[in-house]
Amino acid sequence: MGIADPGILPRKLGYQFSMLQLADHVLGRDSADRILGSYRQRLREQVLETLPERAPEPTPVERVRDLSRDDFIRHYREPGIPVVLEGAAADWPCCKRWTIEDFKQSYGDDEVLLNDHDDDQEEGFNDDLKLRITTLREALTLLDNENYVRFYPLFQRHPERLADMDMQWLLERSHRPAFAQHWQVFIGGKGGHTPYHHAAAGNLFVQVQGAKQWQLMPVAQSAYLDPQTRYGISRGPSISMHNPIYERIPHYELTLEPGDVLWNPPYMWHTVTNTEDSLALGYRWLAPQHAMRISPVYTISDLTQMHPPMWQVAKLAKEELALVPLLLAIRSGKVTDPQLIAYAEKHRTKAAPPAATRPDAEQVVA
Ligand SMILES: O=C(O)CCC(=O)C(=O)O
Ligand SMILES: [Fe+2]
């Protein structure tokens, strides 16, 4: 899988679809369609014809114990092949000591920005959906899907917790140079669900407590999902998560147990369900030279996007990833709630450099 896995979509259709995505990125969908006429429609029909009536059983993602750093880099990281590094973090203090209850007790007063990805996604993936502020205590008391805490910036708020990770292990396995290294914690109840999306950053994802099931689809299969051209922190399909087409697309599957670390490469499509109450964290970094080998079209699109530009996403991600959709929603007028605006003001000032170093420091998201 990864670069080596073309999926079931014939190469020629994949190539034609990539060119169409590039045209959409440069021109916008409407202008592209004005120029290309019914090309999109015809290509879509050809793409759908390649799908079986029902996808075969999902292929399991490899689970490997005691994989050396060099083998990880050569066989999985570089070719963009996902792998579960079984029990790799089991001895880290986070896996030995952290519990959801402890977070509730210790950091219950923290304000958290919730970003509800589930239910009415008839229009496809939307990462500014239902942004809301609550306290960590409140969210962790309810632990339902509407209170799924994604992207909690634990280490920005409580840096002493970083000592509970094996940073050296992670740094040795990530790219150098890498940009925008950032962490987020995910705390959610059983049944919590994140629909299909992908992103430019690579991710070493540490399962601390509970369990998650991931389904993955290689980027070569993107034409089935008809991805959106907009990009904030991630890109999603333009088709609803309830569309029966998902039952026809072959995919991969894995379950993460406490102590497991998943390598999720750049641009790998993924959807995640908590099969138990779950506490986990993602360590991400952006390595454009690597992302470029995995998907030239998406890397070029993401690096040249203007709303917001990638350097601003990278800067905000270091503070709190969910500030990106929040600031975009405020700028477009979709969010007017004073509490959300105050939250953005408070945290973006930490993320933005001083005005003297950048003339447009007022405009965190252009
Ligand atoms: O665990 C989840 O719900 C989503 C995780 C995810 O999408 C990621 O780490 O990239
Ligand atoms: Fe993700």
Say if ligand 1 is within 6 A of residue 272 CB: yes
Instruction: Look at residue 343 and tell me if it is in a domain.
Output: no
Q: Domains in the chain: how many in total?
A: 1
> 50: CA distance to ligand 1 center in Å?
29
Q: Pick the residue whose CA is nearest to atom 1 on ligand 1.
A: 272
- Per-residue tokens: 247: 């039952």
Instruction: Look at residue 322 and tell me if it is in a domain.
Output: no
Atom of ligand 1 nearest to the CA of 270: 7
Pocket test for ligand 1, best of 117, 146, 152, 186 (most atoms within 8 A of CB): 186
Whole-model pTM above 0.85? yes
* CATH code for the domain of 212: 2.60.120.650
Task: Transcribe 23-47 into DSSP letters.
Answer: HHHHH-HHHHHHHHTTHHHHHHHHH
Pocket test for ligand 1, best of 127, 182, 194, 286 (most atoms within 8 A of CB): 194
Instruction: Say whether the peptide bond before residue 308 is cis (omega within 30 degrees of 0).
Output: yes
Instruction: Look at residue 269 and tell me if it is in a domain.
Output: yes
Distance CA(261)–CA(146), nearest Å, equals: 26
Largest CA distance in the chain: 59
Instruction: Look at residue 205 and tell me if it is in a domain.
Output: yes
Say if ligand 1 is within 6 A of residue 251 CB: no
Q: What is the pLDDT along the chain (366 residues), one digit of tens a residue?
A: 555 566 789 999 999 999 999 999 999 999 999 999 999 999 999 999 999 999 999 999 999 999 999 999 999 999 999 999 999 999 999 999 999 999 999 999 999 999 877 655 555 566 666 789 999 999 999 998 889 999 999 999 999 999 999 999 999 999 988 888 999 999 999 999 999 999 999 999 999 999 999 999 999 999 999 998 877 888 999 888 889 999 999 999 999 999 999 999 999 999 999 999 999 999 999 999 999 999 999 999 999 998 889 888 888 888 898 898 899 889 889 899 999 999 999 988 665 544 333 333 333 333
Instruction: Look at residue 238 and tell me if it is in a domain.
Output: yes
Range(s) of the domain holding residue 178: 2-289
Instruction: Look at residue 74 and tell me if it is in a domain.
Output: yes
Atom of ligand 1 nearest to the CA of 199: 10
Instruction: Look at residue 190 and tell me if it is in a domain.
Output: yes
**In terms of DSSP bridges, do strands 212-217 and 269-274 run parallel, antiparallel, or are they unpaired?**
antiparallel
Distance CA(91)–CA(100), nearest Å, equals: 18
Instruction: Look at residue 358 and tell me if it is in a domain.
Output: no
> 267: CA distance to ligand 2 center in Å?
9
